[in-house]
Amino acid sequence: MSHVVALLDSGSAGNFISGTLCRQLGLRTKATSTAYQIQFITGRPVSHRQVSQSAGPVLLQVGVFHVEEIALLVLEESTADVILGRPWLEQHDPIISWKTGEVLNDVFCPKRASKLPPHRPWDSTIDLLPGEPVPRGRIYPLSIPEEKAMEEYIKALAQGYIRPSTFPAASSFFFVAKKDGGLRPCIDYRALNRITVKFRYPLPLVPAALEHLRGATIFTKLDLRSAYNLIRIREGDEWKTTFVTPTGHYEYLVMPYGLANAPSVFQDFIHEVLREFLYRFVLVYINDILIYSRDLAKHRHHVAEVLKRLREFQLFLKAEKCSFHQPSVQFLGYNIDSNGIRMDEGKVAAIRNWPTPTTVKELQRFLGFANFYRRFIQNYSIIANTLTSLLRNKPKSLPWTSSAEEAFAILKKTFSTTLLLVHPDPDKPFIMEVDASTTGVGAVLSQQQGNPSRLHPCAFFSRKLNPAERNYDIGNQELLAVKLALEEWRHWLEGAKHPFLVLTDHKNLEYL
């Protein structure tokens, strides 16, 4: 790869490469159908030789993210290595900062991101329950490496995010070890959270949100830099965020991590910022933004619109965590492409290699991890029933048995293949298949898709039976499975374009 200087010239009628650079790179050329005489706007020839050769298509990378193939006319005696003229500008329609000479680059600038954001209508409020005492945390002793890390942390934040506080009550400050051996600063806001009036703005249901990706073929993933710190604390509430360190008390001017309302406050804010794009070509979950489009031309426009909106609200992105114009992306624990959704292979491998739990907490951790992908596993609740039953009545120790070990192995084995769930298509008929056992019910929603067309699952559903339901006869258990599955997928099946088919192995249900 060669680094060259390109001239953006809105007055140029074509895209050019200098003859010297063309020969240096060893590019193949071919004759153009017409020879061109290139002139300045005054009419004076740019070169004494006509343009009669084109090079390419060649791979052109602009900045970090944009890569394309482009054919360039060979211009002898050019003063620039590459000239990107009006054809390129019309195709990409870039938004240029004439002050910095960059195209939407400011949304990736760490320096601008570190500045104190302005007060907005979405400032984080910390309203406290009346009559509750303000929490008083203790000072934790810090090791020498922790003291150094604390000084660096305070120094970085003191550039705009925090200020010294005189409020006597404060939350505790300490460090926890990261997997890579580093130190993560933590503030214990649990006592403050217990007396905070909760803000109930809902977080999106990720599986439901992903259903909007039907028909998309190209994706861009954006990651907001220091997302919570992009929100100011309401003026007058800063003292409530005070934390205590061996060197003094400090309070936040921006919303810190650890506050109970932080996820809801930020979701409300980012939804308002991107509201006109939501579920048309944008999904957003807190600081993760997914842009999706049916084709590249639309996608470039969609990405530019989102970047302009983020810049308008002084929101900044972490460039190293963004992916642009990709046929597939990893988003919120899923692998997503035009065909559908798969489990993240790294997380699936972690489940398959999970060691046998020896404590209640270890089993809870495993089931919580596996439960994230339950919609990919047929009859998940039935398979996991033996393990979940071990947690009934909140035992202090784990009563691990041979049947538990067998269920653990079977559940891990169900993750041996990364199943594809296709995006539901409302223009095609659905097939809903249900099943019931003495411990639970399950269902799968499927459609004929692909070329050649074959039956693909859209989603799985399962649920354990409660004690009363386990007393139902098999016919009523199958009927319960139908009822629960219809409730689960009502948003797809109610008012569907085509009648849907329900499959059950209990023949008597045909006559209901």
Residue ranges and CATH numbers for the domains of the chain are 6-92 (2.40.70.10), 339-415 (3.30.70.270), 420-512 (3.10.20.370)
Considering the chain, what percentage of its residues have pLDDT values greater than 70? 93
Integer-rounded Cα Rg, in Å, for the chain is 29
Asked whether the predicted pLDDT for residue 63 surpasses 70, the reply is no
Over the stretch 232-279, which tens digit does the pLDDT of each residue have? 999 999 999 999 988 889 999 999 999 999 999 999 999 999 999 999
Over the stretch 376-394, which tens digit does the pLDDT of each residue have? 888 888 888 889 988 888 8
Distance of CA 251 to the CA centre of its chain: 30
- Contact between residue 458 and residue 431 where contact means Cβ atoms under 8 Å apart: no
Cα first-last separation, the chain: 70
What is d(CA 204, CA 288) in angstroms, rounded to the nearest whole number?
A: 12
Asked whether the predicted pLDDT for residue 333 surpasses 60, the reply is yes
What are the DSSP E strand ranges found in 9-50? 16-18, 29-36
Counted residue by residue, the chain has a size of: 512
Q: What angle do CA 365, 370, 375 make, to 5 degrees?
A: 145
Over the stretch 64-115, which tens digit does the pLDDT of each residue have? 556 788 888 888 877 788 988 888 887 776 655 555 445 566 788 777 777 8
What are the DSSP E strand ranges found in 147-213? 162-164, 171-177, 183-188
Q: According to the model, what pLDDT value does residue 80 have?
A: 83
Q: According to the model, what pLDDT value does residue 35 have?
A: 78
- Contact between residue 196 and residue 80 where contact means Cβ atoms under 8 Å apart: no
Over the stretch 456-505, which tens digit does the pLDDT of each residue have? 898 889 988 988 988 888 888 889 989 999 998 888 888 778 889 888 87
Asked whether the predicted pLDDT for residue 404 surpasses 80, the reply is yes
Over the stretch 147-185, which tens digit does the pLDDT of each residue have? 898 988 888 787 789 999 988 888 999 998 887 778 888
Single out the residue of 152, 286, 282 nearest to residue 219, CA to CA.
282
CB proximity list for 402: less than 8 A, separation 6 or greater: none
Single out the residue of 421, 420, 442 nearest to residue 433, CA to CA.
442
**Containing H/E element for 474?**
helix 474-488
Three-state SS at 37 = coil
Q: According to the model, what pLDDT value does residue 231 have?
A: 93
What CA–CA distances, in Å, run from 322 to 107, 287, 328, 406? 12, 12, 13, 42
CB proximity list for 78: less than 8 A, separation 6 or greater: 16, 17, 18, 19, 20, 46, 47
Which residue stretches of 313-435 are H helix? 345-352, 360-371, 380-389, 402-413
Provide φ and ψ at 249, rounded to 5°. Answer: -100, 140
What is d(CA 420, CA 417) in angstroms, rounded to the nearest whole number?
A: 9
What is d(CA 493, CA 502) in angstroms, rounded to the nearest whole number?
A: 11
User: Mind spelling out the 3-state secondary structure of 173-191?
Assistant: EEEEECCCCCEEEEEECHH
Provide φ and ψ at 491, rounded to 5°. Answer: -65, -20
Over the stretch 417-453, which tens digit does the pLDDT of each residue have? 767 888 888 888 999 999 888 888 889 999 988 777 7
Single out the residue of 216, 6, 22, 8 nearest to residue 93, CA to CA.
8
Residue 292 binned pLDDT confidence (cut-offs 50, 70, 90): very high
Confidence (pTM): 0.73
